[in-house]
Amino acid sequence: MAAINDVADLSNEGDIAVLTLNSPPVNALSAGVREGIHTGIEKAIADDSVKAIVLICDGRTFIAGADITEFGKAPKGPSLFDAQKMIEDAPKPVVAAIHGTALGGGLEVALTCHYRVAVPSARCGLPEVNLGLLPGAGGTQRLPRIVGPEKAVQMVTSGVPMPAKQCAEVGLVDELAGEDSLRADAIAFASKIVAEGRPLKKVRDSNEKVEAARGKPEIFDNIRKAIARKTRGFLAPEYNIQCIEAAVNLPFDEGIKVEQKLFMELMTGPQSAAQRHVFFAERQVWKIPGIAKDIEQIPVKKVGIIGAGTMGGGISMNFVNAGIPVVIVERDQAPLDKGLGVIRKNYERTASKGRITAADVETRMGLLSGDTDMKALADCDLIIEAVFENMDVKQDIFKQLDEICKPGAILATNTSALNIDEIASVTKRPEAVIGLHFFSPANVMRLLEVVRADKTSDAVIATSMAIAKKIGKIAALVGVCPGFVGNRILAQRQREANKLIMEGAMPWDVDRVLFDFGLPMGPFAMSDLAGLDLGWRKETSNPDGVLRDRLVELERRGQKTGKGFYDYDENRTATPSKEVEDIIIEFSEKTQHTRRDVSDDEILERCVYPMINEGFKILEEGKAIRASDIDIVWINGYGWPVYRGGPMFYGQQIGLDKVLAKMQEFEKAHGPEFKPSALLERMVAEGKSYAEMGF
């Protein structure tokens, strides 16, 4: 083998040259990899003994795309276009040999090769849309020329990669190799095409499929309609569609110009910056400073859940779905039967939609058992308590767990607001106690706040993070404080939303501004959905002093009673309520507010800036490890728009100095709840970023 550079080697196998890339972890197209391809192919072309070239990768995958860490930095070495041109214009066939994932720029390189072979487990895709981008190295022009515009537009807007077998069916892969013999099979394939004198197939010249789609705008109208709801606010999906339209309607070189223009626009825009931040944040969040990666974990073979209510049921489903047996313990048979019945219904509903089979329903229910005796938890490795939110009840349960559970078992609570140190204090093993704060519906929501208490051991934390990954959650490690990270930040927004409607805004104004910002719904629409009577009690109700109590007493309990902050028709379509408007005005007068015009900007800033400020306080107190973990919590637990990167990233994007100045202005006008965090003040004074401050 002759080294081309640190990450590329060229060797000859008879008359076939094999260019091998090896740039861990994912062979991303860094400057070195681009140079390796460019020079390696150039050398193989110059070698008269070589008849064909195989491009293959070592390690876990074929090229997984452009090197995202290089984005925004000054370009070095040959461009990706130079490397691709060297391949596509080669006078000898170049064969891409694909294993793992050929993604983004990786697939775009493979698309400039004349042929592609892949192992059956490989997948090929253009996931740039997930980074707020579009394939910027010819992918939007070449892919539809092979798979057709309809399939291509679906691939680039979803970002979902296609399994190799399907790639072979649609011609994206020319031949499937043996799972363990890719190199040898690719060389044999290259020899075969040389022997057969097959042509140098250039995807760019194959116009049949794109021409056939000309004059059929419905292809694009349909996809726009299909993804509208899911992609609201995102720029990249629409830009991807426009590129495929260009592939259909323009010659290749013109199409490439459209792709380049739109790619650069996205690449330099705020959305892609935010989405790239989220890509790395999602990977950072698992890394816990101070805990060794290889720390011995507690094997979790059986899980116990206490409480078969809203949360207990959903939490159980997560483990059962991952094939882990679960025993649910309830106070009585009736709530146990009810809880198990709800779980079964949930699975049956999923099966009726064709997402699992009827046999899956039985397999999953078979992994689930119920009991009314806490002793059933004796052989569990992880026990999660999800009973009523009451300290006495929870402490009583943890005392029992301390007696019953085997040594080494993890004792977790799903409390959303109680102090976990206090819960742990009633046991003789506080190191085993941790918070596992699931979000409702627990079988659907991706977020898990793993709450480290004072004495929680490293092994319990590491195991909790690992088990979260196993059940498909994204977990953020947070500390004990009221509301932990997510709800603590939510409380800021909630407080301001309630104040704003007393000062002059209406609930629908606040909701509209936050919806337009990109959140799934505003706080008042959310209350209507959850039910205004959540936690409401007749004995303590104060209809003359508390707006919510008044609405509940008027039977305005939310969507379920057809009215809450809004009025609802039979399709649950909301319209602003005159009755509510009058009550709000009455309450404003009672609380001595002179109603005024509240601008949309003020609504946004009053709701969102205190959230950012609270994030700083959380960091300052060490209740979250890093700013990007807070972003992960808000994106996955509360629907913060990914294209705004999470509240902490958003704060930095608009300028922390601006956030601070507004907080100071609000503090003067509205009071101490706007007091800026000391960390925010320090960062602005020192002009530093989160990373520079160690967050």
Specify the DSSP class assigned to residue 300. Answer: -
634 contacts 515 by C-beta, under 8 angstroms: no
CB of 391 to ligand NAI, least distance (A): 10
Residue sitting closest to ligand NAI (CB): 309
CB of 307 to ligand NAI, least distance (A): 3
Which residue's structure tokens are 């994007």? 653
Single residue of 32, 36, 65, 610 touching ligand 3HC by CB under 6 A: 65
- 393 touching ligand NAI, by CB under 6 A: yes
- 68 touching ligand 3HC, by CB under 6 A: yes
Dihedral sign from CA coordinates of 131, 134, 135, 137: negative
Residue 108 designated active-site: yes
Q: Of the two residues 387 and 656, which places its CB atom closer to ligand NAI in the complex?
A: 387
The span of 59-67, 244-252, 343-351, 389-397 binding ligand 3HC (CB under 6 A) equals 59-67
**Active-site residue among 108, 385, 449, 605?**
108
Cα–Cα distances (Å) from 53 to 87, 107, 115, 391, 479, in that order, read 9, 17, 10, 69, 55
- Which residues, at least 6 apart from 334, have a Cβ–Cβ distance to it below 8 Å? none
409 contacts 378 by C-beta, under 8 angstroms: no
Residue 128 designated active-site: yes
Q: Of the two residues 102 and 448, which places its CB atom closer to ligand NAI in the complex?
A: 448
The SS3 call for residue 29 is strand
The SS3 call for residue 9 is strand
Q: Which residues 28-47 are close enough to bind ligand 3HC by CB under 6 A?
A: 28
Q: Which residues 270-309 are close enough to bind ligand NAI by CB under 6 A?
A: 306-309
What is the separation, in whole angstroms, between the first and last Cα of the chain? Answer: 44
**Active-site residue among 128, 503, 602, 605?**
128
- 629 touching ligand 3HC, by CB under 6 A: no
One DSSP character per residue, 237-276 reads: HHHHHHHHHHHHHS-HHHHHHHHHHHHHHHHTSHHHHHHH
CB of 37 to ligand 3HC, least distance (A): 14
- Which residues, at least 6 apart from 192, have a Cβ–Cβ distance to it below 8 Å? none
Lookup: tokens for 183: 């190199």
Q: Find the helix packing angle between 486-503 and 523-530, rounded to 10°.
A: 110
From CA 418, how far away is CA 399, in angstroms rounded? 16
Q: Which residues 430-449 are close enough to bind ligand NAI by CB under 6 A?
A: 438-440
**Residue 137 interface partner, choices ligand NAI, ligand 3HC, none, CB cut-off 5-8 Å depending on type:** ligand 3HC
Q: Which residues 410-429 are close enough to bind ligand NAI by CB under 6 A?
A: 414-416
- 499 touching ligand NAI, by CB under 6 A: no
CB of 123 to ligand 3HC, least distance (A): 8
Strand ranges in 580-627 using DSSP code E only, listed in sequence order: none
- 66 touching ligand 3HC, by CB under 6 A: yes
387 contacts 397 by C-beta, under 8 angstroms: yes
- 324 touching ligand NAI, by CB under 6 A: no
The span of 99-107, 211-219, 414-422, 672-680 binding ligand 3HC (CB under 6 A) equals 99-107
Q: Of the two residues 350 and 416, which places its CB atom closer to ligand NAI in the complex?
A: 416
Listed residue (244, 215, 238) closest to 152, CA to CA: 244
- 330 touching ligand NAI, by CB under 6 A: yes
Q: Which residues bind to ligand 3HC, rule: CB under 6 A?
A: 25-26, 28, 61, 64-69, 101, 103-105, 108, 127-128, 131, 133, 135-137, 139, 283
The residues carrying an active-site annotation are: 108, 128
